[in-house]
Homo-oligomer: A and B are copies of this chain.
Amino acid sequence: MRTVAIAGTGLIGGSFGLALRAAGFDGEIIGVSSAPALDAALRVGAIDRGAPLAEAAAEADLIFLAQPVRRIIETIAQLDPLVKPGALITDAGSTKSAILEAAKRHIRRARFIGGHPMAGSERTGAEASDANLFRARPWALMQGETDAGELTEWIKRFGADVIFLDAAEHDRMVAFTSHLPQLASTALAAVQSNDAMLFGPGLLDMTRLALSSWELWGDIVVTNREAILDALDRYTAELTRLREGIRLADEIPLKSLFQQAQQLASAIRAAPYRSYIK
C-alpha cells in the first residue's frame, strides 16, 4: 500500500499516522478532518497533508476511519462511489455491529474490515497522539470474508496484539470491559462533592474515565444499547448484593464477593487475552 487516508485525525487517527511512520511506512498519509484537527495532526507529523474525503478516498489504498461511531456510519454511507476499486477500508469504532451493518449495505467497490484498537486516553486530539499508543494492547479485527492481510502486518508492527472475533461477540465483551467501566466512573464522579477534600489515589483512578467526552460516548451507548443494559443490570445486582451484606453486617457473603472480585481483577492483569491471539 502506498497511500493511506485517515478520516478523523484526533487521538486515535493521529496515533495511527504516527505508528505507521514509526513502523516504517513511507507512502503518503492524507488526513480528512476539520481544519483545526488537520492543523494539529500536521503539527505532530501524523499526516502529510489534509484533503476533502473525495480526494483522499480516490487516492488511498487503505482508508482508516477514526471518528465517533455514528460519524463512521455516515462516512461509510458516502464512501463507496469515492474509493479506488479494491481499496481496504477499516475503522476504529468502539462498537462494531452497527458499523458492520452499514458496511454490508453500502460498500461494494472496496473491501471492509471492522477494527477496534483497545487503546485510548482521557486526553483527546492529535496533540495527545502517540506512536506507541497501541503497543501491547489488543486490536480487535472482525472475522469475515475480507482478508486483512497487509493491515494485520502493520498492526503487529505497531506492537499491538491482533484478535479476530465477530461483531456481536466484540460488542458483548466491550459492554463489560469498556462501556460499563465508563458508566461506573461517570456515576461515581457524579455523586462526588466538588469540594471533596479527603481522598486518596483510588478516587482519581476511579474517576479518570469520567473525564471522557460525551461526543464519543453518546454514539457508543446508542449503538450498543442491549449489551450495555445487560452489563448495567449485572453490575447493579452485584452492588445490591454488597449493599445487603453491609446492611445486615453479614460478612461471610461480603468476604466471598470481595475475594471473587480480587481474583478476577488479578486474572485480568495476567492478560489472558494473549492466549487468544491468532
Contacts and interface: CB of A to CB of B under 8 A. Distances in A.
Interface of A: 116, 118-121, 137-138, 140, 163, 165, 170, 173-174, 176-178, 180-214, 217-218, 221-222, 225, 228-229, 231-236, 238-240, 242-243, 245-247, 249, 251, 254-255, 257-269, 272-274, 276
Given A187-B235, A192-B265, A195-B273, 12 more contacts: A116-B198, A121-B201, A176-B192, A177-B192, A181-B188, A181-B202, A185-B206, A187-B242, A189-B262, A202-B208, A218-B254, A225-B247
B194 A181 contact: no
A236 B236 contact: yes
21 contacts: A163-B197, A173-B198, A174-B198, A178-B200, A181-B188, A184-B206, A185-B261, A186-B238, A189-B264, A191-B234, A192-B264, A195-B273, A197-B272, A205-B208, A206-B206, A207-B264, A210-B264, A221-B245, A221-B254, A225-B246, A232-B239
A202 B120 contact: yes
Given A138-B197, A200-B137, A184 B177 contact: no
B269 A190 contact: no
A46 to B, nearest CB: 20
Contact of A173 (B170, B185, B197): B197
Given A225-B246, A225-B249, A266-B211, A261 B190 contact: yes
B258 A119 contact: no
